[in-house]
């Protein structure tokens, strides 16, 4: 029988890596992650990653993860990939409404999809860009998530900003950094556009499609913004978690930098493939 090859990672080794990166007890921290990036063999898989982070943060800290569900949307606007027009009506007629307990978030990866199910975690009610949180500031972060302007001033991103929180990119790039969408709302730049989104929800015990106004998001320049933030400030901390590259950044400094950057450089139309 062939043995498993590569490095072995455990809750203890991952905890040490998080501590070495700068994660501390009491932090409010949002994680964007790729489980595969850790490499080797993780004893306990995604549960070990979650457990290690929560042990470092302690119950006085707060862990947040995006649990977005972009497929709960109007199929006529799907572009990555599109579906044929003859499917639009049956999809809208049959698509289950968003349910905080039942609806999975496979696009976000296995770590947040398991995290949202954890006892003590709570998920916000937004049908497309929900967040799950655990710990001391859990309710403050997820309780009042607005349907419209979903990543703006009445979103978990703004609450994390208010708490002087942190964002951790684990094996993913700046293009996954949802916090920069808050900068999009706050920045003034040419060609800033709004759009109308639709999603199925339960309203008055009935499944309904609702329409809501939101920013037409554009993450095409997030990699450049993040890279220049790293180069021009001393706020970002790079390290490794397992075999994955990791980057820890303060949300407030990042968002404020993003606002200034967008106001200096933006002016192009939004991209086709979104958040």
- Domain ranges for the chain: 8-265
Q: Provide φ and ψ at 18, rounded to 5°.
A: -60, -40
CB 145 within 8 A of CB 123: no
Query: What would the DSSP string read from start to end of 125-165?
Result: --SSS-EEEEETTHHHHHTT--SSSTTSTTSHHHHHHHTT-
Q: Which residues of 142-172 are buried (b: 16+ CB within 10 A; e: fewer)?
A: beebbbeebbbeebbbbbbbebebbbbbbbb
CB 255 within 8 A of CB 182: yes
Strands 28-33, 166-170: pairing is parallel
Tens digits of residue pLDDT in 212-230: 999 999 999 999 999 999 9
Tens digits of residue pLDDT in 112-137: 999 999 999 999 999 999 999 999 99
Confidence tier at 2 by pLDDT (50, 70, 90) = low
Element (H, E) at 42: strand 41-42
Tokens 């990791």 sit on residue:
246
Residue 195 has pLDDT above 80, yes or no: yes
pLDDT score recorded for residue 204: 87
pLDDT score recorded for residue 79: 87
Rg, Å, the chain Cα set: 19
pLDDT score recorded for residue 191: 87
Q: Write down the pTM of the prediction.
A: 0.93
pLDDT score recorded for residue 272: 42
- Burial of 273: CB neighbours in 10 Å, binned 0-12, 13-18, 19+: exposed
Q: Residue 142: which residues within 8 A CB-CB, separation 6 or more?
A: 122, 123, 124, 131, 132, 133, 156
Residue 268 has pLDDT above 90, yes or no: no
pLDDT score recorded for residue 81: 87
Tens digits of residue pLDDT in 135-187: 999 999 999 999 999 999 999 999 999 999 999 999 999 999 999 999 999 99
């Amino acid at each position: 029988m062939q043995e498993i090859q590569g490095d072995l990672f455990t809750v203890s080794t991952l905890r040490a890596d998080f501590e070495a990166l700068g994660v501390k007890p009491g932090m409010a921290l949002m994680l964007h992650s790729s489980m595969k990036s850790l490499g080797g063999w993780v004893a306990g898989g995604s549960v070990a990653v979650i457990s290690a982070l929560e042990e470092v943060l302690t119950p006085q800290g707060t862990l947040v993860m995006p649990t977005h569900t972009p497929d709960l949307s109007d199929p006529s606007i799907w572009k990555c990939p599109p579906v044929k027009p003859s499917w639009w009506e049956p999809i809208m007629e049959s698509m289950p409404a968003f349910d905080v307990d039942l609806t999975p978030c496979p696009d976000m990866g296995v770590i947040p999809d398991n995290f949202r199910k954890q006892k003590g975690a709570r998920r916000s009610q937004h049908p497309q860009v929900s967040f799950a949180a655990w710990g001391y500031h859990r309710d403050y972060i997820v309780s009042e998530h607005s349907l419209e302007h979903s990543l703006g001033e009445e979103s978990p991103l703004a609450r994390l900003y208010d708490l002087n929180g942190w964002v951790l990119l684990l094996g993913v790039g700046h293009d996954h950094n949802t916090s920069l969408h808050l900068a999009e709302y706050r920045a003034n730049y040419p060609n800033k556009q709004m759009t109308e989104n639709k999603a199925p929800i339960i309203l008055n015990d009935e499944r309904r499609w609702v329409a809501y106004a939101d920013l037409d998001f554009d993450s095409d320049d997030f990699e450049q913004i993040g890279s220049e933030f790293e180069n021009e400030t001393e706020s970002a901390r790079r390290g490794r978690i397992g075999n994955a590259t990791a980057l820890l950044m303060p949300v407030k400094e990042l968002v404020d930098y993003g606002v200034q950057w967008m106001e200096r450089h933006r002016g192009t139309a939004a991209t086709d493939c979104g958040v």
